[in-house]
Structure 1
Amino acid sequence: MHRTYSMRQSRAPTASQIQNPPPPSSSTKTGRFFGKGNFGHTFRRNAAGAFGPDLAKKLSQLVKMEKNVMRSMELVSRERMEVAQQLSIWGEACDDDVSDVTDKLGVLIYEIGELEDQFVDRYDQYRVTIKSIRNIEASVQPSRDRKQKITDQIAQLKYKEPNSPKIVVLEQELVRAEAESLVAEAQLSNITREKLKAAFTYQFDALREHCEKLAIIAGFGKHLLELIDDTPVTPGETRNAYDGYEASKAIIQDCEDALTNWVQQNAAVSSKLSTRSRTLSQRRRNAARRQGEGVDLSHQDAPLDSRESGLWIPASEHQGNGYEDEEDVDAPSTIGTETRGREDERQIAA
């Protein structure tokens, strides 16, 4: 800003940051191969579902689309800061009251850009957690493929050589493959639920903090506008001298204090369930208790012995799964992508 007073002079951690330390900088802010334009967005969205196991393709596309969302938010953040600076530069040549208020409004808008940049980092926590579900899905696919392959071999032998002794051997292998697949599927089910809840908790907590702080800034911004004398004057008439410099600084200071001291426990907006929603939720919890809240499958989640079977392997070690780390360069696709909605799938199944 072109004035000496700015909210961002102090970088002391806020109460919210002390209570919930900020995450590392988002992985989308570095290592860009395709630059900052729309080409990278389009390429990632279209190519995401063309790589890797079938089980993980849909979630892979979601992860890449969220990456596009985050990079769009980064662009908004940078341009918001540039707008704030330009507003202050324009107001410098105006009357005293307009000059002072636009400078302070620029401080508030610049702060919004800073908050948006911090929001991107917290949003990345959600995306990375969703990405971990995708990796588990990719590691489950080999067990499904092996079970299906053995089933197909048995069906083929029964058709061509009904009395072949290989059928008995393959049926025994199928029993083992189904048992191994059952463990993998149970682990996938458990981890999916755990990670899904954690991921959207990150997102909703970040959204709540971001929106509440935006509301704080908007409220103090309107207080600043009250310092501008908008009483119409006749030609030749002069306005009273502006004496709101100290008041505008005090408003900015109050806004900074409000943002610094904000914690989630003191959030102004609360989501209250209706009586019907509370009743239905309580009814579901009671039903879960009566049913014993499901079956504990945690004992099945132990990794398989690699000496017994090579089916259950981490996604990072699965050759040909098409996945690279998030800081990779997306390779061009040579595989045609299919985008089919749930309605189409139901029609095909019918």
Structure 2
Amino acid sequence: MSSSILPPPYTPHRTFLFPRRAASNQSPAAYPAGYFPGGLFAKYANDGYEKRNRSLSLRSKKGPTSDGSSGRRFGFGSMRASTQPELSKKLYRLIKSENHVVSNYTNAGREQISIASQLSDWGLSTNDDAISDISDKIGVMLSELGELEITYAQNLEDFRTVLKSIRNVEASVQPSRDKRAKITDEIQRLKYREPQSPKLVLLEQELVRAEAENLVAEAQLSNVTRQKMKEAYAAHFAAIVERSQKQEILAKHSRRLLGLLDDTPVVPGDARPTFDLDRDARQILADAEEDLRNWTLELEEVPTNSHLDANAMPSSVASSGGAATSPVLETRPPGQQVNLAGTEDLETEPKPELIV
């Protein structure tokens, strides 16, 4: 019977903290790449936005660079990657790169919160009641957007944790591949040098056992890879939907705040009308808070037929005794939430354990 991987429950959004001006010693964040200040849609005016990559594959068809190098720089990260088993090197690098993405989103969220505080302080210094009140309320909205970035980074960390389980299985399968290759090479060497050696019979028997062990390990790897990839990216895209929908809520209410600011020009000597829409501004904040509180994540289910036992084998096969003993793998039942508590660090090399 087919079941489904439900997306993780949405992140409960904290209630608004009413505007509180605080001095900030941090410098404003730099504009992101491709952004040109000067208007709401000005960042889309550059030519690079129109020239999108329409390639059907991200796999590069180009060889080394003109100077013969691969374009990769050596560092501690590359040194740690070189110590990984060959089978898990690519996923190791992917997980490491995702760690940089998590850090960047976290830093972007903190910078956004800092900018929100600076906007509020600037509005207060203008001595204009309307600008002071509206900038303060917009600062609250921008601060909430910064919190969304930090929450999204935390969700990406959960996504990385699921990918680590695939990496660990890949690392545990590598020794069985190496063992089989080593025995095969030894048999070929003896057949060439000592065709009548009695050791050949023992090696061939050992090769049969190694091939049986590797066959089970490869099946485990295939099962875990498919299940965990589906689980990881279902959570990844659910986090993207949550972030984007909450950003939309905050952005729409922020535009309502801008509508309260009267930008009618005045001539020298005329006084602007007194700003008396502070209650309306507070109501907009309350509306945004209420919309976030009532928000729910609604997504189509991702179907799955994966039902694995503790050895990453189909439950029905394991119960009938058809599964052979193989590398010990720790797997979670389908649908169980990822818990980061006690998770080993990315650089920790997994220790393969084989039971023959």
Give the shorter-chain TM-score range.
0.5 to 0.7
Partner of 2:344: 325
Give the counterpart of 1:100 among 133, 138, 144: 133
Change (3 A) 1:300 1:194: farther
Give the paired residue count.
Answer: 256
Give the counterpart of 1:80 among 109, 112, 115: 112
The 5 A counterparts of 1:75-224 are: 75-94=107-126, 95-224=128-257
CA distance in 1, matches of 2:74, 2:231: 28
Residues 12-48 of structure 1 show CA distances to partners (whole Å, capped at 9, x for unaligned) of: xxx94469xxxxxxxxxxxxxxxxxxxxx98464334
The 5 A counterparts of 1:20-39 are: none
Letter in 1 for 2:168: N
Cα offset, 1:327, TM superposition: 6.7
CA distance in 1, matches of 2:257, 2:151: 25
The 5 A counterparts of 1:251-330 are: 251-265=284-298, 303-304=325-326, 312=327, 325-326=344-345
Q: Contact between 2:96 and 2:346, CA under 8 Å: does it hold in 1? A: no
Q: Contact between 1:91 and 1:98, CA under 8 Å: does it hold in 2? A: yes
What TM-score do you get using the length of structure 2 for normalisation? 0.66
Change (3 A) 1:167 1:214: same
Cα offset, 1:303, TM superposition: 3.8
CA distance in 2, matches of 1:42, 1:243: 61
Residues 91-148 of structure 1 show CA distances to partners (whole Å, capped at 9, x for unaligned) of: 0022111110000000000011111111111111110000110001111111101100
Cα offset, 1:300, TM superposition: 5.7
CA distance in 1, matches of 2:252, 2:74: 38
Runs of at least 5 residues in structure 2 that lack an aligned partner in the other structure = 1-8, 14-72, 302-313, 331-342, 350-356
Larger relative helix fraction: 1
Change (3 A) 1:297 1:58: farther
Change (3 A) 1:199 1:145: same
Change (3 A) 1:160 1:57: same
CA distance in 1, matches of 2:230, 2:213: 26
CA distance in 2, matches of 1:235, 1:91: 22
Q: What secondary structure does 1:246 align onto? A: helix
Letter in 2 for 1:57: K
Partner of 2:55: none
Partner of 2:88: 56
What TM-score do you get using the length of structure 1 for normalisation? 0.67
Q: Contact between 1:84 and 1:109, CA under 8 Å: does it hold in 2? A: yes
Cα offset, 1:196, TM superposition: 0.3
Cα offset, 1:49, TM superposition: 2.1
CA distance in 1, matches of 2:229, 2:87: 17
Runs of at least 5 residues in structure 1 that lack an aligned partner in the other structure = 1-14, 20-40, 272-293, 305-311, 316-323, 331-350
Letter in 2 for 1:263: T
Q: Contact between 1:45 and 1:65, CA under 8 Å: does it hold in 2? A: no
Letter in 2 for 1:106: G
